[in-house]
Amino acid sequence: MRALAVISVTILSFGLSAKENIPSDLFSSIQSLVRIDEVLQHSVNQCHKTPATLSAEDALKSNPDYFGGITPTSPKWKEIVKIHREYTIKSCNYFNPKEVAIAYTKSMLDGYTLEQALDLEEHLKSDLGRKLTEQSLKASSQMQTMLVNQLASYGVELNKWYISRIQEVVSRPARPHGG
């Protein structure tokens, strides 16, 4: 049966690249088995946790004028916090998970023959393949958590540096053009 599938698809897709001659059901199966959708969902979840680490207060610390002079003691502060949180949540939706999952799977399968893709599917369905996928998800999750936390703390410091450099330029007298 497997040999027939290989021969059929090979005949039908003569001249196509390896990723184009992977049947859609096999492509979908491998995409599902590697659980890329879970990786992407975790990435979005991590992004949504960012407001806890990069709060409106943190933004204000890095730039006292960030909210136009509104501070936590202002009657408008609750509204600022709400808008800041909405902004952060909206920024997490910058990618289309379905498109990214397809692109990831295409990239992963690029260079595989149909025979190799069938072997990969078999492996991913095996106990060892499922264990590899589970461990990869765990490692990816831990790495994403670490990166988000590092980015949040680095972002605050980098923003302080950026604002101070901009303020240095703004506060200097302008030089005549050409010199």
For 94-126, the pLDDT digits (tens) are 888 889 999 999 999 999 999 999 999 999 999
Residue 130 token pair: 């499922």
Q: What is the pLDDT of residue 16?
A: 37
Q: Give the three-state DSSP class for 166.
A: helix
CA-to-CA dists, residue 146 to 7, 77, 101, angstroms: 46, 30, 22
For the entire predicted model, the pTM comes to: 0.62
Cα–Cα distance between 78 and 73 in angstroms, integer? 10
* Integer Cα distance of 72 and 35 in angstroms: 43
pLDDT reading at 146 higher than 60: yes
Q: Tens of pLDDT along 20-33?
A: 678 999 999 999 99
- Which of 127-136, 140-149, 150-159 is predicted least confidently? 150-159
The pLDDT of 87-96, averaged and rounded, is 81
Stretch among 25-29, 44-48, 67-71, 82-86 having the lowest mean pLDDT = 44-48
Mean pLDDT of the chain, nearest integer: 80
User: What are the residue ranges spanned by the domains of the chain?
Assistant: 2-168
| Contact criterion met (CB below 8 Å) for 133 and 33 | yes
* Confidence at residue 3, expressed as pLDDT on a 0 to 100 scale: 38
- Which residues have a Cβ under 8 Å from the Cβ of 63 and sit 6 or more positions away? 159, 160, 163
Please name the residue that has the structure tokens 């021969």: 7
pLDDT cut 90: percent of the chain above it: 39
The pLDDT assigned to 6 comes to 36
